[in-house]
Amino acid sequence: MKKRKLGNSNLEVSPIGLGCMGMDHAYGKPVDREEMIKLIRRAVELGCNFFDTAVVYGESNEELLGQALIPVRDQVVIATKFGITGQEVVDGKPQNILNSRPESIREQVEGSLRRLKVDCIDLYYQHRVDPKVEPEAVAGVMKELIAKGKIKAWGLSNAPIDYIKRAHAVCPLSAIENQYSMVWREPEKELFDLCEELDISFVAYSPLGNGFLSGKYTKDTKYEEGDFRGLMRRFKPEVMANNQALLDLIEKVAESRNATSAQIVLAWELSQKPYIIPIPGTTKMHRLEENLGTYNIELTEEELDSINEALFKIDIDETHF
């Protein structure tokens, strides 16, 4: 398995990482701790060395990951985030509380170090841009934290192009973490060019479209309380019906390769750019093994051409995904 570099850092990661959000956040109730520790350690056994968390997923999410990786700390790369310090309800809708003031970042990093049970965080992202703090100020703190050995590298998540450029000029970025999948290709418009220009890796969250592209869900699927897929447009019956042609295409390619739809989707994503690192999340052991089994699948040029040609023709309804 050939690893992928995180930008201009000395960090090398497995082509596919593991997103840990769903173990505590957004997809229902928190999952059993012992089961998740087994799953995380199994990921390492299967060659995955890149793990993604954030304090906003629940402090227990960082604690879980830190506990699970104690025996293999020297083998893995841990990413966590700062900048969202909580959530509040505004006009009936949950809103993130943003705080990237330098003094707050310094407090936040200490909390993450403690919960992760590490002396240094490998990759530290600003989770969301704080409109009250200039990118130069944030990057200046990152430069300071790197010099102090608190973090090894840093990145941005869902930041505007100009913000990325200004931050990178002060302290070079190693990674951008944004959504990217067959049904959300927005980064192809400008962001990938910028990543190539500045030597920044692209870490793709929701590479399976929150599970939509796995083929495991239908218009009749019922979602448990707390699972935000029940509110997402891409899982509405009419939208799923509109995109069935895409799901059918993926399934056809998967059958020809004796693979699963999820594996074909991840293999497609890995082939798009050599600096893309998908981080699908799961709480199920068989799904973990399925996702990481993609390491053994390399799509041919003919297969990629047929998929991309079909994607170009399919009317993918990605509005408000």
CATH number, domain with residue 190? 3.20.20.100
Burial string for 222-233 (b: 16+ CB within 10 Å, else e) reads eeeeebebeebe
Task: State the Cα–Cα distance between residues 317 and 51, nearest whole angstrom.
Answer: 31
Q: Which residues lie below 8 Å from residue 174, measured CB to CB, with a gap of 6+? A: 6, 7, 8, 9, 11, 123, 153, 154, 155, 200, 201
Is residue 237 assigned to a domain?
Answer: no
**Catalytic position from the list 57, 205, 217, 275:** 57
Task: State the Cα–Cα distance between residues 5 and 3, nearest whole angstrom.
Answer: 7
pLDDT at 257: 95
Total domain count, the chain: 1
What are 166's two structure tokens? 């200004």
pLDDT at 222: 61
Is residue 232 assigned to a domain?
Answer: no
Is residue 238 assigned to a domain?
Answer: no
pLDDT at 226: 57
Judge contact between 177 and 162, C-beta under 8 A.
no
DSSP symbol at 7: T
Task: State the Cα–Cα distance between residues 229 and 170, nearest whole angstrom.
Answer: 38
Task: State the Cα–Cα distance between residues 51 and 67, nearest whole angstrom.
Answer: 13
Domain of residue 52 covers 4-215+260-298
Is residue 278 assigned to a domain?
Answer: yes
Is residue 294 assigned to a domain?
Answer: yes
Active site residue 57: yes
Is residue 223 assigned to a domain?
Answer: no
Is residue 239 assigned to a domain?
Answer: no
SS3 at position 34: helix
H/E stretch holding 65: helix 59-69
pLDDT at 236: 64
pLDDT at 284: 96
pLDDT in tens, the chain (321 residues): 799 999 999 999 999 999 999 999 766 688 999 999 999 999 999 999 999 999 999 899 999 999 999 999 999 999 999 999 988 888 888 899 999 999 999 999 999 999 999 999 999 999 999 999 999 999 999 999 999 999 999 999 999 999 999 999 999 999 999 999 998 999 999 999 999 999 999 999 999 986 778 766 555 566 466 554 545 555 666 666 767 778 888 999 999 999 999 999 999 999 999 999 999 999 999 999 999 999 989 999 999 998 998 888 776 655 444
Is residue 140 assigned to a domain?
Answer: yes
CA atoms within 13 A on the CB side of 281: 22
